[in-house]
Every structure is written in C-alpha cells, then in structure tokens.
Amino acid sequence: MTTDTERPPKKGLGRRQRARLNRGVQYAVLVVVIVVAALVADWNSIARAFFNVDVAIAQFPEVITTALVNTIIYTALGFGFGLGLGIVLALMRMSPVGPYRWIATGYIELFRGLPALLVFVALGFGVPIAFQLRFDIYSTAMLALGLVGAAYMAETIRAGIQAVPKGQVEAARSLGMSPGRTMLTVVMPQAFRIILPPLTNELILLTKDSSLIYLLGLASSEYELAKFGRAALNEYASLTPLLIAGLCYLIITIPLSRVSNLLERKYGSGVRTKNGHGGAAA
C-alpha cells in the first residue's frame, strides 16, 4: 500500500499550456469588448458623422487634384532641400576642421530639439516681421520641412557613411583617387544603399509634417490634405471629409512603408533610428 508521503507530486500546467491559456483569455476579452461596443454604439449616428456618402462624393475631385497633389509637392520640395542640406551637414559633422563640426553639431541639436510647428511659425510670421522678407507658400513649406528634416537626415547619412568599411576608402586612395572623388564615387553610393530605409521613413514623416503648413493661411488652390479636410468639416459639419483626407494620407504613406520594409530586407538595417523621427544613431 502506498502512503501519502509516497504519492508523486501533482504536475501543474506546462509553459506552452500556460501560453495557450493566456492567449485564449486575451482573445476572449477582445471578443467581449468588440461585442459590447457593437451593441452599445449608435451606428446610425456614426454613419452620419463618418460615412456620409453625399459629403464624401462632394470632396472629389478636388481632394485629389488639389489637396493630395499639393501635399506631395510640399513634401517633395522639403525632402529634396533637406536631403541636400543633410549631406552637407553630415560631411561637416565628420570634417577634421573644428568650426565645421561645431556648426553642424549645433544645427543638428537645435533643429532636432525644436518642434516643426515653431519652425513653420518662425518662417511664416517671424522672418517677415524681423527681416521684411516674405516667402511664398511653396518656399515656406520647402524651407520649414527641409530645415527640420535635414537635422535628422544628416545623422542618418553620417551613420551610413561611417558604416562603409574603411578598407573601401583605403583601396580607393591606394589607386590614386582624391578624397573628394573617393567620397563621391566609392563611399556615398554604398552609404545610400544602407540608409535608404531610414530615409524612406523620413519621407513618410515629412509627408505628415506637411499638414502644419495650414497654420500660415492658404488660398483654396494651395490647400493640402489637412487644411482641405478642416475646411470641408466646417462647411458640412461632418467628419467624413477628415476621413477622406486620412485615407489620402494612407495612399501616400502605406506604399512608402512597404518600400521601406522591402529596402530594409534587401539591404539590411545598417542604421538604427532614434528619437522616433528617422534620425540615425550617432
């Protein structure tokens, strides 16, 4: 006969069983929340507020031909200017000349620390008051987006350049190439392959930051998506225009996100971002 002291200990749930149980509980809670929300929600009011078909139809074609096109133009101008300035700042940051490094470091720290909103306001209102110098809306968008984006892209580019093996530079110099030609023909092409994914992410962020241009006051022909949606919201007292504007943003950002993921898988994550804005780790 087996005594109590000789009985084998009871076994609890294994790790996999506990994991399955936890997932099951989470799924059950999620289903309950969805069912309760579906029963409590006033679907007629939601449909009128967000999915008013007549209001949605009224947004076309201007939401595409004006707002979406202007958003793309503002973003492209800012990205092009920011990329060019970012390359210059990255090279200055790595320069053996001290003042160049100090200027680049000061610029990068300044514009990474300032909200883009303040840069838009400064260029739209501060510069005209202080210097009697007024930019058109496209120049303002280009400068504001580019000045902010350049600070992040400079660090991304610098990290990409530093990720290129030094042996490549030494081999090019041993063949008689000048430092400038080595940088242009050997280092930069390899660096850009590394930094394409974070640069694509920066383009996505600049697309969303372009919505800040509405603060400066726009003519109807200059509306971007956020301003277009807000104006239509005031006109129709419906949230449907904002939903349409949001979908148009997704038309831009989702393909760019897919491109970024494809590039990252192809070339590898050579540059890690920080500060949540596509900037590269130093």
Domain membership flag for residue 25: no
Gap between the Cα atoms of 19 and 259, Å rounded? 34
State mean pLDDT over 234-250.
88
Alpha helices in 43-187 (DSSP H): 43-50, 53-58, 62, 69-93, 98-113, 116-121, 127-131, 137-163, 166-174, 179-182
Say whether the peptide bond before residue 61 is cis (omega within 30 degrees of 0). yes
Domain membership flag for residue 232: no
Give, for 280, the enclosing helix (H) or strand (E): strand 279-280
Q: Supply the pLDDT for residue 273.
A: 44
Owner of token pair 């038309």: 251
The rounded radius of gyration (Å) of the Cα atoms in the chain is 27
Q: Supply the pLDDT for residue 10.
A: 56
pLDDT of 49 higher than 70: no
pLDDT of 43 higher than 70: no
Q: Contact, 180 vs 112, CB < 8 A?
A: no
Distances in whole angstroms, Cα of residue 181 to Cα of each of 96, 101, 169, 178, 210: 17, 21, 10, 5, 36
Domain membership flag for residue 101: yes
Domain membership flag for residue 169: yes
Instruction: Name the DSSP class of 273.
Output: E
Q: Supply the pLDDT for residue 280.
A: 40
Domain membership flag for residue 242: no
Q: Supply the pLDDT for residue 87.
A: 92
pLDDT of 105 higher than 90: yes
When the pLDDT of each residue in the chain is averaged and rounded to a whole number, the result is 83
Q: Supply the pLDDT for residue 86.
A: 94
Distances in whole angstroms, Cα of residue 134 to Cα of each of 37, 81, 122, 191: 51, 18, 11, 37
State mean pLDDT over 178-201.
83
Whole-prediction pTM value?
A: 0.78
Q: In which domain, by residue range, is 143 found?
A: 73-222
Measure the N-to-C terminal CA separation of the chain; round to a whole number of Å: 72
Domain membership flag for residue 215: yes
Q: What is the band of 249 on the pLDDT scale with cuts at 50, 70, 90?
A: very high
Counted domains in the chain: 1
pLDDT of 59 higher than 90: no
Percentage of residues in the chain having pLDDT higher than 90: 31
State mean pLDDT over 266-275.
52
State mean pLDDT over 261-265.
79
Q: Could you report the per-residue pLDDT of 109-163, keeping only the tens digit for each? A: 999 998 999 999 998 888 888 888 888 899 999 999 999 999 999 999 998 888 8
Q: Report helix angle 98-113 to 137-163, nearest 10.
A: 120
Domain membership flag for residue 267: no
Domain membership flag for residue 131: yes
Q: Supply the CATH number for residue 164's domain.
A: 1.10.3720.10
Please give the residue that has the higher pLDDT: either 267 or 169.
Answer: 169
